[in-house]
Structure 1
Amino acid sequence: MKKVQYVFASFAFILFLFIFTSVYQNGTVRGDGIFFSLFENMMFLKPFSIIGTELVIATISILLMLYLWFRKKDYIGILTVVVAVAGSNVINKLLKSTVERERPPFSHGEDGFSFPSGHAMVGLVFLLLLVYFISKEVQSTKVKLIFYGGGGLLALFTGMSRVVEKAHYFSDVLAGFLLGYAYFTLCIVLYETSNKILKKKSTVRPVGRTKNV
């Protein structure tokens, strides 16, 4: 992972903290209502909401772990999937119960609190993680960029579908994206660092004792 990604992740987390502080203290973010009007006619985004459901994320995450287990023998990768996907879900729920922001006053059929959006946060972590492990099998930088672009676009559509459905405020979705990206970066840093440590240990051979003559 490149240093520029660390910078973006740090900036994303700081910006998340600003939004979190505003919502926690004031219960709202200025301009949230405008986005309902802006996205009112983008009904094509609604079907993408299914990507962020727990059923879809859990099913594909399990398939990814099976692939890492049987095909790659990447046990640290399996642990990373669990920590990234399940961990982001736990963090999301803890934040919702802490902030206790009510959902937008529309008929959307959703229960629970609103901030931050789980579809945006967990969906982004899940999709970027999936793309990350897929792109490890690809040599071409251009193809990798296409994969990441496609994954990012799907994550964007998944998060914004919640604004179209009026189940979340725009700030809920934006905060989910920001924290999700920061958390994803942290998980990948830990994954790559762990692999480097194990690889270094495997290359170090113990020095045998010399026999006395």
Structure 2
Amino acid sequence: MQYRVTSPASVAVLGGIVGVCGPLLLSVDGQAAHVAHITLSSGWSWAALSYFAGMAEKRKRRSCVMGVVSLVCATLAYYVTKAVQGDFLKVDLGDHTGQTTYFAWGQFISFIALWCFTACLFGPILGLLGNLSRNGYKRHAFRAAVPLVVIAETSVRLSTEASLQQPVVGTTWCATRIAAMIILFAIAGYSIYEYWRTLSKRRIHSS
């Protein structure tokens, strides 16, 4: 399979789309929009964003950079969207009427700083994993990275948060985990198939 080298601008745009759509879909009516919001707001979807940004690159160093760029742009877009939606508007307690509001710049900037720092920590790792999944005899192991992240996150959320959420949330997490398991088994099956095919070719050539 051939991959085109991506530009920082295209990765930034993709990250921005993911970041905007997460909170934006929360205000859209309909169960499909709610499911999409749950999916795009999950940690695994952001991990997948960074992973595939790295996979699209041929060079390891560039894949690490793209992993960071995608997450930083998604973070900025996410919190700017939430700011526009009014999430950082606070009531001025000094006004007894409760009609005066102000923008919580400190909270806004601290959230962005925290998650941009997290992006700089995990972006290079995820981007590199995506790059390593392109070629090499270990590529199938690296291709299992995102499904494993999905299974881990959804399992934790189902055991700790599902009872506190709406039924559609738990259903979405269950369906996502099942899909990740299917993909993981498919990767394992294809890896075994390739191994035996390579082994058979070696036996034919050696005979």
TM-score by length of 2: 0.30
TM-score by length of 1: 0.30
Using CA pairs under 8 Å that are at least 6 residues apart, name the structure with larger relative contact order, 1 or 2.
1
